[in-house]
Chain A
């Protein structure tokens, strides 16, 4: 695992490149795309372990912090969905260049999955597989989750657990609606959702209409990592990681 800094001087990012432990024919390069805020902290070790597993299986892997998040340069107030989707494109090219692979699989968790769909609107070449892991399907419902937990805030917007939602970021989120976004026909998509609620059903219908090659899984275990209990005990859902690894190796 090697720390790498990439991007431009004004929009630099920190990532970790996991070189493949062994050569495996057909093993894809894999880009891991973080969720946001508290969810990024909760999932950090889990995604590190997923990267390790994929590296052991022969995949070159890059995981990274979007600009202005985690350990990357930049302040929180630069948060924007378009900026972070652009970061995915930059990370995609960085991984392709480092690994020598022409196609890259993306695994996005929660808001990271939504950002992958946004990024796929512009990164048209070299996307081998898109794994949408418990995606944030509508920004409004996501905002509601955080708004309900937010405390008093002297500035603009609101904040939850120390992460500020600026007006710009909040406006970005309020317009996010994955079923309205089209993916190119034939794109390999694996979606894993926690339940078949109305939002998930709308996403499934939209993906089906887009004529992507869809693998749709409903698993209540998908969100087990995202709880107070899991945070305090650092629980890692190994079966879920194993399942995602299998899908990447089978489909990419």
Chain B
């Protein structure tokens, strides 16, 4: 394996590290980038570990900083946040293609990085696989009931939990804040915790369907860090079963993972999971 750090993109403003496999086995390259404001190495160096595990399997990768993060220069402000992130990811694809010869790409996005990966996958047909960890959450009635039960257990009884729930509801309806769980806005088109606009369920399903019909392997991963909005195994199936896409994608709930994969065990499992998934992408015969 060799690693090279270099500037690329418009005005050479982006910075990334290319991990090239000693014995390339795949025509697919992986792109890893920021989770929130965390630099390109990823939470707790996760992206470095994943890149090296991929290289050991013959898969080249580029881990890089999006505009204005880590070592990359700020964007010139001519594009929206979303469009700029897509442009940055495309610049990463161009570099990876030029340096390693790959023509198809897989994206790994965590947190706000998942949203960026999702938009880039929609925008560029060279993307054949995308893992989105803790992207958009759509709580169901059962999500709220589970949470209510959890609170009741923690608060020592249904009456106390019910009282607290009622207070929260009154507070939410009083201040007009649409971010609360259970509000109409939370179900449709509200801002998520990262400040971006969450698509409506219909819109999200339509976009996922578009990716699936294009042959993209879609992998949704949910951690156990957001009990308010995602808290049981079949939640996504319950919310999106009606769209007929569930069985054509991978959806996994990992309550043993937290949002930043903050233990060595989580990191090792995430590295192994990602390396296995990416290596299968290289052998699926996508064209």
Question: Do these two chains really belong together in a complex?
Answer: yes
Residues of A bordering B, CB below 8 Å: 1, 3, 5, 14, 16, 37-38, 41, 44-45, 48, 69-71, 73, 76, 151-155, 159, 161-164, 231-232, 234
B267 near A231 with CB under 8 A, answer no
Distance between B194 CB and nearest chain A CB, rounded to angstroms: 10
Q: Are A162 and B266 in contact (CB under 8 A)?
A: yes
Complex formed: what's the CA distance from A234 to B63 in Å? 20
A71-B48, A162-B44, A164-B264 known; A44 and B39 CB under 8 Å?
A: yes
For B83, list chain A residues within 8 Å (CB).
none
Inter-chain pairs besides A3-B15, A14-B5, A41-B43, 20 sampled, C-beta below 8 Å: A1-B7, A3-B7, A16-B71, A37-B44, A41-B44, A44-B70, A71-B48, A73-B3, A152-B263, A154-B265, A159-B263, A161-B44, A162-B261, A162-B262, A162-B264, A162-B267, A163-B44, A164-B264, A231-B37, A234-B37
Q: How far is the CB of A233 from chain B (nearest CB, A)?
A: 8
Give the shortest distance, in Å, between B185 (CB) and chain A (any CB). 22
In Å, the complex CA distance between A164 and B63 comes to 22
What chain B residues lie within 8 Å of A37 (beta carbons)? Answer: 44
Residues of B within 8 A of A (CB): 3, 5-7, 15, 17, 36-41, 43-46, 48, 63, 69-71, 260-267
The answer for the CA separation of A70 and B48 in the assembled complex, in Å, is 8
16 contacts between A and B (CB under 8 A): A1-B15, A41-B41, A45-B37, A48-B70, A70-B45, A70-B48, A71-B5, A71-B40, A71-B41, A153-B263, A153-B264, A161-B260, A162-B43, A162-B260, A162-B267, A232-B36
Q: How far is the CA of A164 from the CA of B262 in the complex (A)?
A: 10
Given A159-B263, A161-B262, A162-B263, decide whether A5 and B5 contact each other with a Cβ distance below 8 A: yes
A146 CB, min distance to chain B CBs, angstroms: 12
How far does the alpha carbon of A37 sit from the alpha carbon of B45 in the complex, in Å? 9
Task: Give the distance to chain A from B114, nearest Cβ to Cβ, in Å.
Answer: 17
Min Cβ gap B91→A in Å is 17
CB distance from B62 to the nearest CB of A (A): 12
Q: Which residue of chain A lies nearest to B43 when distances are taken between CB atoms in the complex?
A: A162
Return the chain A residue nearest B69 by Cβ.
Answer: A45
Q: What's the least CB distance linking A193 to chain B, in Å?
A: 26
Give the top 3 A-B pairs by smallest Cβ distance, nearest first. Answer: A162-B44, A3-B5, A234-B37
Given contacts A151-B262, A161-B262, contact A232 B37 (CB under 8 A): yes
The prevalent SS among residues of B at the interface is mixed
Chain B residues with CB under 8 A of A41: 38-39, 41, 43-44
Q: Report yes or no: A76 in contact with B45, Cβ–Cβ below 8 A.
A: yes
User: In the bound complex, do residue A162 and residue B46 qualify as a contact, i.e. CB atoms below 8 Å apart?
Assistant: yes
Judging by beta carbons under 8 Å apart, are B71 and A151 in contact? no
Tell me the minimal C-beta distance from B272 to chain A in angstroms: 15
Residues of B within 8 A of A5 (CB): 5
A45 to B37, CA, bound (A): 9
Q: How far is the CA of A163 from the CA of B49 in the complex (A)?
A: 12
Q: How far is the CA of A151 from the CA of B257 in the complex (A)?
A: 13
Chain A residues with Cβ below 8 Å from B267 are 162
Which of B38, B40, B45, B70 is the most central at the interface, judged by chain A CB atoms within 10 Å of its CB? Answer: B45
**Interfacial chain A residues near B5, Cβ < 8 Å:** 3, 5, 14, 71
Given A44-B39, A162-B262, also A1-B44 (CB < 8 A): no
A14 and B18 CA atoms in complex are apart in Å by 13
Give chain A residues whose Cβ lies under 8 Å from the Cβ of B43.
41, 162
Distance between Cα atoms of A231 and B71 in the complex (Å): 16
Residues of B within 8 A of A71 (CB): 5, 17, 40-41, 48, 63
Q: Could you tell me the distance between the alpha carbons of A3 and B4 in the complex, rounded to whole angstroms?
A: 9
Cα A152 to Cα B48 in complex, Å, equals 23
CA distance A56 to B17 in the complex (A): 25
List A contacts of B63 (CB < 8 A): 71
